[in-house]
């Protein structure tokens, strides 16, 4: 039982249908009406800094963040708050270190940014492969979570209905990406952030009101209802089962900070800013929005534990993915008025929209990379109309397998997939971007070693982590092939990604190294000084 009234379930269903219809209509209305690549890929950079910042924040705050991080806060207390803060810090890192150089170096995709100084088809194909490897697991998490979330809210338990929800909403998300392009998906992200912050802010206020506006009283009540006492308010609860819980926590947070800043669907948004000044202002809005959401999700997560207890949350979902909804429902008390039912419907609709928008942005990033880096980068000129057609077909080619895989993994723990994406971002994409943008000696060989080698290290280590097996909450709880005693691969894979890039560069042929260094010096002003972007 969800504990949600029939009226709340009925209103949620109506709201979901209305949101799906309206957002698809908005995508049709705002999508590119000409065969113009700049309009499809970047929306001409026509969004104001505030709207672009909200779109960046919307891409960054995925359903995995809302549901997953909210669950960690409700179940693990202090460790969950640190995870939420790491999420915000990741965007700060992007703002200060990578945002402007990325905007100056790239045009449409991450492959553009990397080939600005090291042209070559191999670089573009490697960039596309890593983009797909990093984003497809996150897509599966969002899609599989869709069926579970709707089943939880609407009160049905049929497996076929859950699968039907995944398929139907997956098709809708593909439509958003293929029809709306960058501007259409940005509009959905903005709408999602406004609803998420607005409804979440009101719920957080209601929870604080229940505790006489005293955060200390809220935290103490949560600790009392957690079943673990004051340990709930100290570090180590989430990683208590491992041999090195403190080190595991530090490495996990480092992976989130470094990996989250470099995921391709986030860096893609840097190219939508019209100038270096606009990208700075956009990132300021994005960071402010994410920090505000971190405050909201912390209050709601602790409120869920304080009001209904940690055991009830864990019983509803061992990963705590329903904690945000349960906390929102508990904020109203036993008797729920019509206005409160309407507010709860807004909360559920915001999360539903988060699922839709997150996957649409990821599908768009993958489709853009396939079309622009692999197909259009084959060396011969193709028309803008043909490349846009390929991008739209690519959205289908990425989305359909993702839907199929999501239906297969929906009954497993999805945390390994989230972790895999962040590990790939931190171990392959982050070293490649940092070296490409800032290291003059970096060569094409070093870049390929970073992208391919860093990814392989992650893929080799990930099956051995305790998220995959050896634990009751792992993806395969009935098995135990856990030989790497950490939650993430970051302890080995992040240093390996940087080391492989350095080694590949050092071992490169001298003549080729000198030539590629001259190529970098030729574009260094564009990358670092914020010069006007050249046409391609």
Determine the Cα–Cα distance for residues 508 and 528; give it in Å rounded to an integer.
25
Three-state secondary structure of 329-346: HHCCCCCCCHHHHHHHHH
Mean of the per-residue pLDDT values of the chain: 84
Out of 20-34, 159-173, 302-316, the most confident range is 302-316
Picking from 261-265, 419-423, 510-514, which range would have the lowest pLDDT averaged per residue? Answer: 510-514
Instruction: For residues 136-148, give the mean pLDDT.
Output: 85
Conformation bin of residue 470: beta by default, left when phi > 0, alpha when psi is -120 to 50: left
The 8-class DSSP code of residue 109 comes to S
- pLDDT score at 95: 85
Neighbouring C-beta atoms of residue 373, cutoff 10 Å: 26
> Is pLDDT above 70 for 43?
no
Answer with the residue of higher pLDDT: 269 or 36.
Answer: 269
> Is pLDDT above 90 for 439?
no
- pLDDT score at 251: 92
- pLDDT score at 2: 46
> Is pLDDT above 70 for 513?
no
* DSSP β-bridge partners for residue 469: 476
Determine the Cα–Cα distance for residues 264 and 131; give it in Å rounded to an integer.
6
> In angstroms, what is the C-alpha Rg of the chain?
23
Answer with the residue of higher pLDDT: 479 or 289.
Answer: 289
pLDDT confidence bin for 378, thresholds 50/70/90: low
For residues 183, 185, 187 and 189, what is the CA-based torsion angle, rounded to 10 degrees?
A: -140
> Is pLDDT above 80 for 536?
no
Determine the Cα–Cα distance for residues 240 and 465; give it in Å rounded to an integer.
15
Out of 1-15, 56-70, 225-239, 254-268, the most confident range is 254-268
The 8-class DSSP code of residue 119 comes to -
Distances (CA, A) of 507 to 226, 429, 496, 517, 518: 55, 21, 16, 15, 18
Calculate the CA 61 to chain-centre distance.
Answer: 6
Answer with the residue of higher pLDDT: 43 or 291.
Answer: 291
From 398, 406, 401, 402, select the one nearest 178 (Cα to Cα): 398
- pLDDT score at 381: 67
CB 38, CB 371: distance < 8 Å: no
pLDDT confidence bin for 194, thresholds 50/70/90: very high
User: Which residues are CB-neighbours of 404 under 8 A, at least 6 positions away?
Assistant: none
Instruction: For residues 70-92, give the mean pLDDT.
Output: 90
Q: How is 338-387 classified by DSSP, letter by letter?
A: HHHHHHHHHHHHHHHHHHHHHHHHHHHHHHHHIIIIIIGGGSS---HHHH
- pLDDT score at 337: 72
Q: With a threshold of 0.85, does the pTM exceed it? A: yes
- pLDDT score at 3: 54
- pLDDT score at 379: 57
Instruction: For residues 179-186, give the mean pLDDT.
Output: 78
Answer with the residue of higher pLDDT: 6 or 454.
Answer: 454
- pLDDT score at 162: 81
- pLDDT score at 1: 39
Distances (CA, A) of 262 to 98, 218, 267, 424: 9, 35, 6, 9
Answer with the residue of higher pLDDT: 359 or 452.
Answer: 452
Instruction: For residues 150-156, give the mean pLDDT.
Output: 75
- pLDDT score at 46: 65
Determine the Cα–Cα distance for residues 522 and 530; give it in Å rounded to an integer.
14
Determine the Cα–Cα distance for residues 55 and 187; give it in Å rounded to an integer.
7
Instruction: For residues 461-478, give the mean pLDDT.
Output: 84
Picking from 429-438, 444-453, 513-522, which range would have the lowest pLDDT averaged per residue? Answer: 513-522
- pLDDT score at 64: 78
Determine the Cα–Cα distance for residues 422 and 396; give it in Å rounded to an integer.
24
Picking from 1-15, 106-120, 195-209, which range would have the lowest pLDDT averaged per residue? Answer: 1-15
Instruction: For residues 493-522, give the mean pLDDT.
Output: 81
């Amino acid at each position: 039982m969800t504990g949600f009234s029939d009226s709340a379930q009925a209103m949620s269903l109506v709201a979901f249908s209305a949101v799906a219809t309206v957002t698809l209509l908005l995508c049709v209305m705002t999508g590119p009406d000409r065969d113009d690549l700049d309009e499809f890929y970047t929306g001409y950079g026509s969004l104001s800094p505030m709207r672009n910042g909200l779109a960046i924040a919307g891409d960054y705050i995925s359903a995995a963040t809302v549901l997953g991080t909210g669950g960690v806060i409700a179940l693990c207390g202090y460790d969950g708050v640190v995870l939420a803060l790491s999420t915000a810090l990741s965007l700060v890192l992007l703002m200060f270190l990578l945002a402007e150089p990325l905007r100056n170096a790239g045009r449409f995709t991450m492959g553009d940014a990397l080939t600005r100084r090291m042209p070559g088809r191999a670089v573009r194909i490697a960039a596309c492969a890593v983009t797909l490897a990093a984003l497809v697991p996150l897509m599966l998490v969002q899609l599989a979570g869709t069926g579970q979330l709707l089943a939880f809210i609407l009160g049905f338990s049929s497996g076929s209905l859950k699968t039907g929800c995944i398929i139907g909403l997956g098709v809708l998300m593909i439509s958003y990406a293929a029809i709306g392009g960058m501007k259409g998906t940005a509009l959905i992200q903005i709408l999602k952030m406004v609803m998420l912050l607005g409804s979440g802010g009101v719920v957080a206020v209601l929870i604080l009101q229940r505790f006489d506006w005293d955060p200390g009283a809220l935290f103490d009540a949560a600790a009392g209802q957690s079943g673990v006492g004051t340990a709930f308010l100290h570090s180590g609860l989430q990683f208590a089962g491992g041999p090195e819980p403190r080190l595991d926590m530090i490495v996990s947070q480092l992976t989130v900070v470094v990996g989250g800043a470099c995921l391709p669907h986030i860096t893609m948004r840097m190219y939508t800013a019209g100038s270096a000044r606009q990208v700075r202002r956009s990132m300021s809005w994005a960071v402010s929005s994410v920090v505000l959401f971190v405050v909201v999700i912390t209050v709601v997560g602790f409120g869920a534990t304080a009001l209904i207890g940690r055991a009830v949350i864990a019983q509803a979902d061992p990963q705590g993915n329903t904690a945000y909804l349960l906390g929102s429902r508990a904020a109203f008390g036993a008797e729920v008025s019509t206005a409160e039912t309407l507010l709860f419907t807004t909360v559920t609709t915001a999360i539903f929209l988060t699922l839709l928008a997150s996957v649409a942005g990821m599908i768009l990033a993958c489709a853009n990379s396939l079309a622009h880096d692999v197909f259009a980068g084959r060396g011969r000129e193709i028309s803008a109309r043909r490349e846009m057609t390929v991008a739209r077909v690519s959205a289908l080619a990425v989305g359909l397998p993702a839907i199929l895989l999501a239906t297969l993994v929906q009954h497993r723990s999805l945390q390994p997939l989230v972790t895999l994406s962040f590990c790939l971002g931190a171990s392959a994409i982050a070293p490649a971007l940092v070296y490409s943008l800032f290291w003059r000696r970096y060569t094409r060989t070093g870049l390929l070693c970073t992208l391919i080698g860093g990814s392989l290290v992650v893929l080799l280590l990930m099956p051995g982590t305790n998220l995959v097996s050896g634990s009751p909450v792992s993806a395969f709880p009935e098995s135990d092939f856990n030989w790497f005693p950490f939650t993430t691969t970051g302890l080995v894979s992040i240093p390996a990604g940087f080391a492989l890039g350095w080694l590949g560069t050092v071992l490169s042929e001298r003549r080729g190294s000198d030539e590629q260094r001259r190529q970098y010096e030729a574009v260094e002003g564009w990358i670092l000084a914020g010069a006007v972007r050249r046409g391609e």
